[in-house]
Amino acid sequence: MNRFQEELFGGRSFVQFTLDEPLILGKPSLTINDNVVVELWDNGVLYFQPEGGARNHSILLSVGVHGNETAPIEMIDQLVTDILAGEVALRHALLIVIANPKAIKAGQREIDENMNRLFDGTLAVKDGDSPERCRSRLLIQYSRDFFGLEAHQKIHYDLHTAIRGSIYRQFALSPNPVDRLEIGHHCSLLEQWGIEAILTTTQSSATFSAFTAHSLDATSFTLELGSAKPFGSNDMTEFALVIAGLRAAISGDESLTIERKTAKRFYVAAEIVKETDAFRLLFPPDTVNFTPFNVGDVLATDKEFQYIVTKSGERILFPNENVANGQRALVIVHADDNDTENSL
């Protein structure tokens, strides 16, 4: 345990300290290695500013939007420990967010509702709001504060693991326009990190990454890095390339000395919303993400609705018929027509 971790977290790791739910008064701060200023903005919200106030990039790393997705939480916990120990140099401003500590502590995906449908900058305050609504409003403000400061690029990686298996074990979803100048560069980086598929979407959304992309002009990605498992059950070697990529990104040395493999490219063709309790998915519950279906297959039904595959090669993503009414229960994706390997 290094002295900076002792001063900030009382001898605990960042995650342990966060789950203890301490009362944070003001913005406790200290200066660590290479004159990097560290500020604890809130429980689970940790800010790093390199020497001299220079902000080449602003990088937001968020984990734990869903409390049972533990691998990214463990990754970030080790990253904070290594930064405080001087093992990772910081060139860029960094904000690390553990999004939903209450759900993480409970070992649940959520306490009352899916936080990743609540990043809406106009979300009104109501009596009896869920813990997720209260927390998301705070995270929206911290994100605005962070990305409101001058920076060459604003970058957000929201790290998740999926409920079910996937043909492409690690994949990314971008809510940014495909013609955004920085997208090509960042997609190349993700390929170095072992990301096997990259999706783009023009669908409106209240996810964390969509909020930072659309409202704060960040280059944002949701990263799905495998299957959700309990703490202590993750094989961290499966995430070695992503961990190395994150460390390289914040230290300003982005290029990894590995041979990158081209990620498959997809776009979101449709999102199916569960309207009533009658909603059903018409394929086995163990069907994995990116499974393709044939023209004429019926994938979902509701009281006055059914979704029938109309185009060869349609695939499913994030199927979940147990979501609340009014929420997305299924995503339909299709290979990018410009991706010749996917089109075969």
Is 224 a residue of the active site? Answer: yes
Tell me the C-alpha to C-alpha distance, in Å, between residue 263 and each of 130, 193, 194.
Answer: 38, 10, 8
The pLDDT of residue 1 is 67
> Residues of 311-332 as b/e, b for ≥16 C-beta within 10 angstroms?
eebbbbbbbeeebeeeebbbbb
Q: How far apart are CA 164 and CA 249, in angstroms?
A: 29
pLDDT, tens only, 39-56: 999 999 999 999 865 568
The mean pLDDT value of the chain amounts to: 91
pTM for the whole structure: 0.93
The pLDDT of residue 123 is 72
Per annotation, catalytic residue among 132, 196, 224, 314: 224
Q: Which residues contact 96 (CB under 8 A, 6 or more apart)?
A: 14, 45, 46, 47, 48, 61, 62, 76, 79, 80
The answer on pLDDT for 337 being more than 90 is no
The pLDDT of residue 342 is 46
pLDDT, tens only, 236-289: 999 999 999 999 999 987 666 566 789 999 999 999 999 999 999 999 999 999
